[in-house]
Amino acid sequence: MSPNDQITTRHTNGEHVALVKQAQQAVCTTFDNMGSATPVPVRQAHHLTGLTPAAVESIEAQRERALAHLRRQSEPLNKYVFLSNLRNTNEICPLIYTPTVGTACLEYSNVYPFLAASGTPDGLFLRAEDLPNLGQILDNYRAALPDDPQICVITDGSRILGLGDLGVNGMGIPVGKLQLYVAAAGLDPRRVLPICLDLGTNTQRYLDDALYMGVRHKRPEDDQFYPIVAEVLASLNRRFPRMLIQFEDFSSEHAFELLDRHRNQYLSFNDDIQGTGAVVLSGFINAIEQVGRPISEHRVLFFGAGSAGVGVAKQLAEHFRAAGGLSEEEAKRRFWLVDSKGLITLDRGDRLAAHKVYFARDDNEGQQYRTLNEVIEAVKPTALVGLSSQPNVFTGEVIARMAELNRNPIIFPLSNPAVNAECDFATAMEHSEYRVIFASGTAFPPYTVPETGELRVPGQGNNMYIFPGLGLGAVLAQPSRITDSMIYESARALAGALTDEERGQGDLYPRIQRIRAVSAQVAAATIRCAVNEELATSEEVKAVVAAGDEALLDYVRSHMWEPVYSGPQCTGDASPAVKATTASPTTTTTSYHI
């Protein structure tokens, strides 16, 4: 007797319809849906026979078709909408990230209904009014998942990339970051939690926009803001005590304070301050090696002194101390930070935000420097780092001057998305006689040197090289907190992850195609550090670290989720429960059929 017959004989017609629907939906939920790869017995068991064409495909064939369709779309936003739907119906989709995620955030309210066409929620949208029911809301969300989430990325949308306060439209960023966790470090897509804390927006055009989907009022003052965030974090921690919390794209005024308040309370880190600090340090380590001058001779000029600028400067200063043999005071004096009012000095006459005070200069002898050109002439930097969101401020003239001052000027225009970058790769190459050492936040196309035909590939200094591995390491080691040493070790691991070939070609970062292997190395370094600092609570991980570096790397790799079709669904089991499969000879993996 077929399953269909069983239903018909035992139930009335109405019950039959309901049961068929239930059985069909059981294989149509996001995480169990195999689409055109659903085997014939499963189609029969779930009453899907005749509802799809006959072909039973492999995951490779599905991937090929999706890729071809993606490439046929000419508009980046259409690509994003397609990928978003693909993600919501089939958790195999790779990168949905900068630059398109920037456009997608700007348009989020306009395209949201199409993104959510599958009915799968993007994540949690939390409002201040929800606080009394937060426990219930988390329970509701948890009910749709097979297990507790391991990582959440939370934003309040107040500083999305370099695009400003986008309110609820910022949800695209936690979603995109968590997609990278899945693609780059093999986090299980069913165990990640994007959160938009929708407390309003100060952007008038959204408040006036009839189609804006967020809470329609201004943001709360600090005396309300901090208690709200504290309550949300406490609820998250009560419900999911082992979950790592990643703060993302909070405005700089709040980013530092939130990190200070909560970093020792919960397993958490701030991606813009610490993740960016680590990724830029990593590229800098490799850049300094190429330049061939000792660390102590470098003079670094930061254009932009927000969460990213100050976070990166602090991370580099730590390296100047640890690897350059400088005292804290000597290290600090190798850095000059510029904000919208010019070089940050103690006697500039304005009240400096707390995060700017550490690097404020006191050696300017009463003189203030307002423009970038003035500061360059005063400082004569070896490196120029852009984290200002001001497009094209590193003009041809600025780059030419840097190339006069240095045989190999280090120029990192790191603002996102690409339209906000302080310069593009072609400008940097053409005005430096191709001598620039370059990395940008969003990838620029390679450049062909006209005279020689040599193809030069620019580096991408984006925290996506750090946070996936750092997060995976934290999930596996379960330390009580993320320390500065773990961040520093993640940066060193990334710097050391270049292959000889990549190093030989002058790359600062590993090729993106190797991101999984690289994330495994970053995760291993994080775990090793957590164990050495006696903060790791996983006994399994402690034993693996004791067994040596190869064992640790194997362990990390074996815990990276892979999309594979296997398990009971393939045999027609009428209730397609998700089961783990063994992908490595040594350990049980967290790979599941989807």
Question: Which residues sit in the known binding site for a divalent metal cation?
Answer: 248-249, 272
Chain contacts with ligand NAI (rule: CB under 6 A): 159, 161-162, 252, 272, 276, 279, 303-309, 338-340, 387-390, 414-416, 420, 441, 461-463
In the complex with ligand CC(=O)C(=O)O, the residue whose CB is nearer, 161 or 344, is 161
DSSP 20-75: HHHHHHHTTSTTT--GGG--HHHHHHTT-TTSS-S----HHHHHHHHHHHHHH--S
Q: Kindly state the smallest distance separating residue 304's Cβ from Mg ion, in Å.
A: 13
Binding-site residues, please? 159, 248-249, 272, 416, 462
Which does residue 318 touch among ligand NAI, ligand CC(=O)C(=O)O, Mg ion, none (CB within 5 to 8 A, set by kind)? none
Q: Total residues contacting ligand CC(=O)C(=O)O (rule CB under 6 A)?
A: 8
Q: Is the dihedral of CA 21, 22, 23, 29 positive or negative?
A: positive
Identify what 338 binds: ligand CC(=O)C(=O)O, Mg ion, ligand NAI, none; CB under 5 to 8 Å per kind.
ligand NAI
Residues that are catalytic: 97, 177
Spatial CB neighbours of 74, under 8 Å, sequence gap ≥ 6: none
- The alpha-helical segments, DSSP class H, found in 505-548 are 515-532, 539-546
How far is the CA of 277 from the CAs of 153, 259, 309, 480, in angstroms? Answer: 18, 14, 8, 21
**Dist. CA 251–CA 127, nearest whole Å:** 18
Window 457-516: residues binding ligand CC(=O)C(=O)O (CB under 6 A): 462-463
Beta carbon of residue 8, minimum distance to ligand NAI (angstroms, whole number): 58
CB of 345 or CB of 590, closer to ligand NAI: 345
- The residues in 259-298 that bind ligand CC(=O)C(=O)O, with binding defined as CB under 6 A, are 271-272
Shortest distance (Å) from residue 256 CB to ligand NAI: 10
Q: Does 420 bind ligand CC(=O)C(=O)O (CB under 6 A)?
A: no
**Token pair of 472 as six digits:** 């995976």
Of the two residues 303 and 320, which places its CB atom closer to Mg ion in the complex?
A: 303
The minimum distance between CB 463 and Mg ion, in angstroms, equals 7
Instruction: Give residues 150-189 in contact with ligand CC(=O)C(=O)O (rule: CB under 6 A).
Output: 161
Sign of CA dihedral 503, 507, 508, 513: negative
Q: Which residues are annotated as a binding site for (S)-malate?
A: 159, 416, 462
Q: Are strands 192-198 and 300-303 parallel, antiparallel or unpaired?
A: unpaired
- Residue 552: CB minimum distance to Mg ion, A: 29
Rounded Cα–Cα distance for residues 259 and 267 (Å): 11
Q: What is the DSSP letter of 566?
A: -
Residue 102 beta carbon to Mg ion: minimum distance, rounded to whole angstroms: 11
Separation of alpha carbons 552 and 220, rounded Å: 46
Pick from 371, 416, 378, 379: nearest CA to 395: 371
Largest separation between any pair of C-alpha atoms in the chain:
93
In whole angstroms, how far apart are CA 237 and each of 49, 268, 535, 586? 45, 11, 18, 32
Phi, psi of 445 (to 5 degrees): -65, 155
Nearer to ligand NAI, 377 or 549 (CB): 377
* Closest CB to ligand NAI: residue number: 306
Map residues 379-418 to x or -, x wherever contact with ligand CC(=O)C(=O)O holds by CB under 6 A: -------------------------------------x--
Note whether 249 binds ligand CC(=O)C(=O)O by CB under 6 A: yes
Q: Residues interacting with ligand CC(=O)C(=O)O, by CB under 6 A?
A: 161, 249, 271-272, 416, 441, 462-463
